[in-house]
Structure 1
């Protein structure tokens, strides 16, 4: 059985999704899986997040699904109940990290400086989210962190087709998170064919 890091390194791009209507989640999962990105980070930026994750998990049991923008232990509980494979937080909150460890669910917390990486390592973590990537110094900053710390990174924030391969070329980067291939208006309007085109373009970039 593959580890989470192995699965992330194979997929390379994690679509970050804020879904407003959970009834559309299963179809969105289908479009992702059928067009080369069998993964989603569903953020708790909407009230429909947990229900959307549940719908995706029912429809595609083998899909790699994470919850994002997790800020509270209650959201950790909702994530686990919904069936996520991992949890992502925008920052490094020791309380949330400890709770995920107690609940035996992998958390990838956000960091953007050496002190936070050291806190993550102290708590036994070996994978962190570099966020917000571009405003925090981009690949130059990430390379500086990677040169010092024996951890893996999932940069997110300002990643797009023009720079994604710059990040992926850094050996310690497992995958990049991004929103550009999942525009909210296309989901809202159920423009699945247009979404499929964007997703295939991403898959071709990283092939």
Structure 2
């Protein structure tokens, strides 16, 4: 899709995926859409991740396509060239933050402390990834971090599961969560598209009425 809104408004759950074989990219994206989740974050954790992004951009225009695990300005440029509609990073060095601010698409820089949130706010960014959510302190910690900055919308990722996602979504300021369980790497490798579609549909049921 042509993303005309924030990725945090597309779905309360964003699948975070690791794709080893670009041939799996299109059927994976279609399985998520079939299950009712029309958004995906492809992480740059494999050598051919950008090929997977390009394939989804070309063949599944109905899904909001994000690229995550961005670490450098070069990563940002390559993700945009491949067709990314939003960008996600685990953290934000000054150079990376500069590149994200300059990007002409929505961005979710990673933060884990109040100081990092304030640094992002100084650059005009009010939508942020909270990572790693579980090890950093979970919903209670995120609620405390977000208290002084009610203008910020968060997407916690890292340790979010079907068992605790409702706890995260109940935190003021949390607009969506990211998780790998919707499309685990092993399920992608096994080409279990029906199982991934079913998992996406189950997540839709979990988040019904939350928010």
The TM-score range, normalised by the shorter chain, is: over 0.9
SS state at 2:117 partner: helix
Residue 106 (structure 1) shift: 2.7
TM-score by length of 1: 0.94
Q: Note the residue ranges of structure 1 that are not aligned, 5 or more in a row.
A: none
Q: Note the residue ranges of structure 2 that are not aligned, 5 or more in a row.
A: none
Distance 1:10 1:105, change over 3 A: closer
Residue 2 (structure 1) shift: 7.1
CA contact (8 A) 1:97 1:107 kept: no
Structure 1: which 4+ aligned runs deviate by more than 3 Å? 1-4
In 1, Cα distance between equivalents of 2:145 and 2:9: 19
Cross-structure match for 1:45: 45
In 2, Cα distance between equivalents of 1:100 and 1:110: 11
CA contact (8 A) 2:3 2:85 kept: no
TM-score by length of 2: 0.92
CA RMSD of aligned residues (A): 1.5
Residue 197 (structure 1) shift: 1.8
Equivalent positions of 1:108-147 (< 5 A) are 108-147=108-147
Cross-structure match for 2:22: 22
Further displaced range: 12-21 or 53-62: 53-62
Cross-structure match for 1:175: 176
Cross-structure match for 1:92: 92
Distance 1:3 1:126, change over 3 A: farther
Cross-structure match for 1:83: 83
In 2, Cα distance between equivalents of 1:72 and 1:98: 10
